[in-house]
Structure 1
Amino acid sequence: MSDLLHRIADGWQKTLPVLAVVGAALWLVLFHGAPASEQAMFAALLVIYMVHQTEEHLWPGGFRPYANAHVFRSGRDDWPVDEGGVALVNIAWVWAPIGLAALFPETLRWVGLGWVGLTFVNALSHIGTTVRFRGYNPGLVTSIVIFLPFTIWVFAAEYSRGALSGLEIAGLLIAGVLLHVPVAALFVIPFRRKTPALV
C-alpha cells in the first residue's frame, strides 16, 4: 500500500496535461448547450484547476522548492512542503470535492461554490506572494489569466440571475479563506514542531 501511495505522490502531476485535455473535451461535449449551469461551472473549475496545477508542479513547476525556500525558509527543497503532502492536498482537497460537486451539483451545490471561493482566494495568495517576494511564483500566471476571471464570472453570473446574494458571495469568500486553513496546517504544524510531515 505504501508503495502505491509513493507512486501516486511521485507521479500524479505527470497526468495533468492529459487529464486537462480529456476534461476539456468532455466538458465541451456535455455542457456546450448549457455552459453557464452550475454543474458546468463546477466541471470547468476542475479542468481549470488541472491547468493551474500543471503550472505549479509540472511546467515550469517548482512549487515545492519555492514554498520551502521563500515561505518557510527551511533550507530544504522537500520540507515541510513535501511530495506526499502536495499530492494529498491537490487530489483529496481539490479534485475530490470539486469532482463530487460536478457530479452532484444540487446536493453539493455549496461545496462547489465554496471551492469557487477557495479558488478566488488561491489566486489572490499567488498574487500576494509575488508582491511580497517581488518575483514569479509557480501558479501566478494561471491565477491571473484563468482563476480570477473565471471565479469573478461565476459570482457575477450567479448574482445576476438571483442564485446568490451579495451576502452569500461575501460568505463564500470567507469560506475560501477558511478552507485554506487545513492546507496551511498540514505544513505549518510539522514545521513548527520541526518534525517530518505526516504524509
Structure 2
Amino acid sequence: MHPLSYTSANWQKWLPALAAIGAVLWLILFRSDPTSERALFAALLVIYMVHQTEEHLWPGGFRQFANAHVFKSGNDDWPVDEGGVALINIGYVWLPVALAALFPGPLRWIGLGWVGVTLINAVIHIVTSIRFRIYNPGLITSIVLFLPFTIWVLTREVSAGTLSGLQVVLVLVLGVVLHIPVAALFVVPFRRARDKTRSA
C-alpha cells in the first residue's frame, strides 16, 4: 500500500498513543511554566488529538455523519472522504499548531488563529447537534475540552495584557475564516457534481 494511502486509512489509530505521549512530554517540558504561549499551543495540539479520537476512532464516524446529515450524499465516503479527512486533520491542524508551539514568537498569530479555529469548531459541533437533534462525533470533547480551554486561553491572554479586546475579536474572525478552506475542500466538489447531475 502506498504510504499516503496507508496514512489516510490509519492515522486515527495513532491518536491515543500520540495524545498520551504528547501529554507526558507536556508535563515534563512545561510543568514549571504551564501558561507560556508555547505551553498553551502545545496543550492545544494534545487536546485536539483527544477531540480527533472522538471524531474518528472512539466512537468515530464523523465522516459518515457529515456525509449522511450535512451533505445527504448517500455515500459514507463522499464528499467528506478518507483522504480529505486525513489531510485536514494532519496538515491543517497538527502541522500549524505544532509549528506555533515550536516557534511561538514568530508564529504566535498562527497559534492564536488556531485557538480561534478550535473555539469555532466547538461551536459548530454544538450547533450541528442542536440543528439535527442528534449526537455528532466530536460533540463531547467540544463541550468539555475545546470550549473551556479556548475561552480560558483568551481570558488569560487578556488578563496578562498580551491580547486586547479587539485582538480577541480578530482571533474569532480568524477562527471563522480559517474554516473556509476546510469547507471548500468538500463543498466545492459536491456542488460541482450535483450541478453536473442536474444538467445531464
**Residue 55 of structure 1 aligns with which residue?**
54
**Residue 182 of structure 1 aligns with which residue?**
181
Cα displacement string for residues 36-70 of structure 1 (whole angstroms, at most 9, x for unaligned residues): 00000000000000000000000000001100000
What secondary structure is seen at the aligned counterpart in 1 of 2:98?
helix
Following superposition, the deviation at residue 135 of structure 1 comes to 1.0
**Residue 76 of structure 2 aligns with which residue?**
77
**Residue 95 of structure 1 aligns with which residue?**
94
Following superposition, the deviation at residue 4 of structure 1 comes to 1.1
Aligned AA (1:144): I
Asked whether 1:117 is paired with 2:116, we answer yes
Following superposition, the deviation at residue 86 of structure 1 comes to 0.1
Cα displacement string for residues 115-161 of structure 1 (whole angstroms, at most 9, x for unaligned residues): 00000000000000001000100000000000000000000000001
**Residue 168 of structure 1 aligns with which residue?**
167
Following superposition, the deviation at residue 78 of structure 1 comes to 0.4
Following superposition, the deviation at residue 82 of structure 1 comes to 0.2
**Residue 31 of structure 1 aligns with which residue?**
30
Distance of 1:150 and 1:176 partners within structure 2: 15
**Residue 17 of structure 2 aligns with which residue?**
18
Following superposition, the deviation at residue 3 of structure 1 comes to 1.1
Structure 2 unaligned spans of 5+:
195-200
Following superposition, the deviation at residue 194 of structure 1 comes to 1.3
What fraction of aligned residue pairs are identical, expressed as a percent? 68
Aligned AA (2:98): G
Distance of 2:134 and 2:58 partners within structure 1: 17
What TM-score, normalized by structure 2, do the two folds share? 0.96
Aligned AA (2:41): F
Aligned AA (2:53): T
What secondary structure is seen at the aligned counterpart in 1 of 2:106?
coil
Distance of 1:178 and 1:27 partners within structure 2: 29
What TM-score, normalized by structure 1, do the two folds share? 0.96
What secondary structure is seen at the aligned counterpart in 1 of 2:163?
coil
What secondary structure is seen at the aligned counterpart in 1 of 2:78?
coil
Distance of 1:110 and 1:64 partners within structure 2: 29
Aligned ranges for residues 148-167 of structure 1 at < 5 Å? 148-167=147-166
Aligned AA (1:20): A
Structure 1 unaligned spans of 5+:
none
Distance of 1:88 and 1:115 partners within structure 2: 16
Following superposition, the deviation at residue 185 of structure 1 comes to 0.2
Asked whether 1:67 is paired with 2:72, we answer no
